[in-house]
Structure 1
Amino acid sequence: MEIQKLYSSIFILETQADYEKIMESLLIGLDTLKTATANFSDENKLGQGGFGPVYKGKLFDGREIAVKRLSSNSGLKTEVMLVAKLLHRNLVKLLGFCLEEEEKLLVYEYLPNGSLDKILFDQGKRLRLGWERRYKIIVGIARGLLYLHEDSQLRIIHRDLKASNILLDEQMNPKISDFGLAKLFGESETQGNTNRIAGTYGYMAPEYAKHGLFSIKSDVYSFGVLVLEIVTGQKNSSFRNLTNLLSHAWLHWNNGTAEELIDPILNDP
């Protein structure tokens, strides 16, 4: 089967029994998820991503979950195969998946503080993000990215690192989420090429946006944009007179006024 070959090529499982055991442990019934989310009610809807809506739910054992309901044209295999084996405190944890009645559902741990963008770009909520907390978030994202690039079983390029794909737990620790566009590299591979440019403009490295070339460097570029947003409290796309936040930052850097980029909230006593 295609999925067996994919799984084996990614994680090099020793036996077919290993594969079946892991996949069986991740399966969650559709009825269970309908009950947990009140049949995917609007009241439980957490948000809408590029691949479909996300709902909050509660399992019979009391665990709170986030259920991503993928659109019909979205692939589920890649995200399941990748995230199932990724164990790091700064990566969102996959709890299971469901493929029933044409539904494609991914089940993740629920993170109560939601995505970083909902706090960082809200004038009132941003007050919760002092410098120490922002620094902790930056370091956590960097650690998660380093794990994907260097320390996981295979090198993984996320390709869509942005504020809305950083989730925050109870202690505001960051967790990288949404691996729907992620790509695998072998140990000897350093870059890839695609004719299908997918991701979020403003976070894309120029060589990827223009020519479809992606690598660890393109993830690092996205991380740099994200760091600028965290430090300034402004979206990369929020500037009208300048191209983006990067142009704004470069102008200040050349003028020797880089300190003026810092979010004014961070200067308050």
Structure 2
Amino acid sequence: MIRRMALQCFCFGCSKKHSSSSKRPYQTTVLEELFHHFSLADLRKATNNFHENNLIGRGGFGKVYEGCLQLDHVATAVVAVKVKSIHIYYKPKEFKNEIELLCQLRHPNLISLIGFCVHKDKEIIVYEYMSNGSLADRLFESDAREPLSWKKRLEICIGVARGLHYLHSGLKRTIIHRNIKPANILLDDNMEPKISDLGISVQGALFTEKPKPIQVRAKETFTGFSGPLDYISPEHLYQGTVTDKCDVYSFGIVLLEVVSGKPVNAIRNEMPGSQQPPNEEIEMSNNGSESSSDDDHISMYWDSYIMLRLRAEDIDPALVGNIAPQCYAAYIDIIDRCLKDEPNERPIMGEVEVLLEHALTLQLEADATDTSDHDYLSLFTTIT
């Protein structure tokens, strides 16, 4: 009840009367009791005036800084401070949307909100600090850190699946993330994954109602996404149709990157006969649909992704000899199912979670009964 009251009080420009009487576009009476409303001075001090040395990440929303804040006038905590960008694709409603959603969500595999700041044109969100960076950092960045083991990668994938399962079915309304990718999967001190960046997430119908696809204007499908459009499902990209199965598709791409240790566009570029998808907006017709006749634009790229199972060089070299054939076969089957062209043919996230747990069990059983290196060549023979 308190949290519901907080959300009611957290109204951005909720009435003309309010906006005309105050420059602050929201009320925080109850919300401030649950989450800190930091002053800009607090956050400047915490981040050394947003110094580049404190910069730990950047994305479509803006830059993220490491900071040190005093909470409750007693404890001092390291936090992550995300500052709004003035990028052309940024929409103010994304800030509001993320705050409102994070106020409602509580799950060990979702990032926690600590507080926020609104000061004139500044919009800032303060999160718990993730000491091990993002999954993208650990997979794609070459540094002195030891590569993630196959077991740890499976555990991270299971944690992400649990977080998505919670978003899809753990609340009164389904929440569709819409931006699942390794850069938005953060790792804490214990390498537990936490899903972040809910700015463009959308809420579905109540569970008491019949679920139906959400229509997002085709142009809006592209805004808010940084980098290539590789993670977006075909129906989301071309018809503006959004369901929980869009997240399943995106997660399938993440699973592919986890086993390869490469960004998905790099995998595609190395595949014979493959083409690079567009990184820019596709021209839309007046009715909001794609103007090109190439309706299979995305799916045709993934007709060849299955070659990953045929080519040993497409597996992360750090995993060679460490994947049990039975586990790998189960893992590839999950990717197959998540990347189905038809949304109805993809599993729900609860099923993906169970399948990944089964794959991990197969790996642990193989490790317990066989102390020698797994025959990497037989791995490919087994599943083809």
Same fold (TM over 0.5): yes
Distance of 2:306 and 2:182 partners within structure 1: 21
What is the alpha-carbon distance in structure 2 between the residues aligned to residue 118 and residue 89 of structure 1? 21
Residue type at the aligned position of 2:84: L
In 2, the alpha carbon distance for the partners of 1:7 and 1:258 equals: 51
* Separation in structure 1 between the aligned mates of residue 32 and residue 212 of structure 2, nearest angstrom: 30
Tell me the equivalent position of 2:31: 22
2:7 touches 2:31 (CA, 8 Å); kept in 1?
Answer: no
Q: Does 1:46 align with 2:56?
A: yes
Distance in 2 (CA, whole Å) between partners of 1:84 and 1:29 is 19
- The residue that corresponds to 2:212 in the other structure is 190
% identical aligned pairs: 36
The letter of the residue matching 2:213 is Q
Partner Cα distance (1:119, 1:160) in 2 = 19
Q: What is the alpha-carbon distance in structure 2 between the residues aligned to residue 170 and residue 5 of structure 1?
A: 33
Query: CA contact under 8 A between 1:190 and 1:216: conserved in structure 2?
Result: no
CA radius of gyration, larger in: 2
Distance apart, 1:167 and its partner CA: 0.4
Task: Give the counterpart letter for 1:109 in structure 2.
Answer: E
SS in 2 for 1:47: strand
Rounded to whole Å, the distance in 1 between the matches of 2:38 and 2:66 is: 15
Deviation of the 1:250 alpha carbon: 1.9
CA contact 1:236–1:246 (8 Å) conserved in 2: no
Q: Report the number of matched residues.
A: 254
Cα 1:162–1:97 change in 2 (3 A) is same
Deviates more, 1:138-147 or 1:152-161: 152-161
Unmatched segments (≥5 aa) in structure 2: 11-27, 277-300, 322-372, 374-384
User: Residue 37 of structure 1 is aligned with which of 47, 52, 59?
Assistant: 47
- TM, length-normalised to structure 1: 0.86
Q: Give the superposition deviation at 1:181.
A: 0.7
- 1:250 corresponds to: 306
Residue of structure 1 in register with 2:344 after alignment: none
**Post-superposition shift, 1:85?**
1.7
Deviations 1:84-130 (A, max 9, x none): 22110100101011111321000000101111111101345674301
| Residue in structure 1 matched with residue 317 of structure 2 by the alignment | 264
* Equivalent residue letter for 1:267: V
**1:181 aligns to what?**
200
The aligned residue for residue 64 of structure 1 is: 78
User: Once superposed, what is the RMSD of the aligned Cα atoms?
Assistant: 2.5
What secondary structure does 1:155 align onto? strand
Is residue 120 from structure 1 mapped to residue 117 from structure 2 by the alignment? no
Structure 1 position 130 matched with structure 2 position 149? yes
Distance change in 2, residues 1:87/1:167 (3 Å): same
Equivalent residue in structure 2 for 1:105, among 104, 121, 124 = 124
Q: CA separation in 1, counterparts of 2:84 and 2:66?
A: 15
Alpha carbons 1:249, 1:258 under 8 Å: kept: no
Conserved in 2, the CA contact under 8 Å of 1:120 and 1:126?
no
Is this contact kept in 2: 1:249–1:261, CA < 8 A? no
Q: Is there any run of 5+ residues in structure 1 with no aligned partner, and where? A: 11-18
**Residue 171 and residue 53 in structure 1: after superposition, are their counterparts in 2 closer, same or farther (change >3 A)?**
same
Match for residue 13 of structure 1? none
Q: Does 1:215 align with 2:232?
A: no
Q: Could you say which residue in structure 2 is the equivalent of 1:14?
A: none
